[in-house]
Homo-oligomer: A and B are copies of this chain.
Amino acid sequence: MGILVVGSVALDSVETPFGKADNVLGGSATYFSTAASYFTDVSLVAVIGEDFPDEHINFLKEKGVDTNGLQKIAGKTFRWQGRYEYDLNEAHTIATHLNVFKKFKPHIPAVYTKSPYVFLANIDPEIQLNVLEQVKKPKFVACDTMNFWIEGKPDALKGLLSKVDLFVLNEGEAREFAKEPNLVKAAKKILAYGPKTVIIKRGEYGALMFNGGSIFSAPAYPLESVFDPTGAGDSFAGGLIGYLANIDNTNESNIRQAIIFGSVMASFNVEDFSLNRMRTLTLKEIYDRYRKFKQLTHFEDIS
């Protein structure tokens, strides 16, 4: 089944202890779409400026992403400039230039309004709600957010959560949103806002899924060379929702597998700057790494 994703497409400038990349392809919806494209059809709704290079659109098209919902308007593309220290878990924002993103009012093309799977990447929760009003009874809706909206628009976010099936957010964001240092208690409070499933991303420590009374702990893949963590969370979401849409079944067993596919996509993404690793990544490599996750976590039962 197909996925509609609404979010940002950006040009990033990133510096890490291992190098730097200027004006490279970025944005939450870009990372999500590319990761999800390995599993299913993806339709992307986002805004770009007149300066956005055609080669990036061609890259997305080559990945099979439907870019007809990409609106080009007057002005410059959204730009983010950031830096990571050796502790790659935390991004230090140097500059954010919203540019055309300030005027982003997503219009969902009629052909996309029947998308069975919807992912609302990290944008203003009021815009996320507006997108949901435009789509017709999707089977499964997932969303992301960030501390900026948790602090600035908590009520809109809670309104949104009453309408989504799955909510992904970072560990620190979960604690802040629930005003609760204990992560299990925080997840319970967030589940009470409506989503059936909450997935808490923990960077290099993996992810925790809370689904009703059940908890699943997934590790991150231990990598020897992490070059650029930008987009890891969105690649995770892309693998996760991409896999679920592909098998079109969101029971817990499938969500657990989907989390591993999300972790696989995130682990590849951080191996190079921007989306460069995705330029050569094959489905075989993805399946091989899934099997390595199985080895990584395996231990025998006791009788």
Contacts and interface: CB of A to CB of B under 8 A. Distances in A.
Nearest to A295: B214
Interface residues of A, number: 41
A219 interface: yes
A215 B266 CA distance: 19
B184 A86 contact: no
6 contacts: A182-B223, A184-B224, A206-B219, A208-B222, A217-B297, A259-B299
A205 B208 CA distance: 10
Contacts of A181: 17, 86-87
B302 A291 contact: yes
B299 A256 contact: yes
A208 B216 CA distance: 18
Interface string A289-301: 0110011111111
A217 B224 contact: no
Contact of A217 (B219, B257, B260): B219
A280 interface: no
Interface string A256-273: 110110000000000000
B217 A183 contact: no
A202 interface: yes
Nearest to A290: B302
Contacts of A215: 222, 296
Interface in A169-217: 181-185, 202, 204-206, 208, 214-217
A222 B183 contact: yes
A27 to B, nearest CB: 27
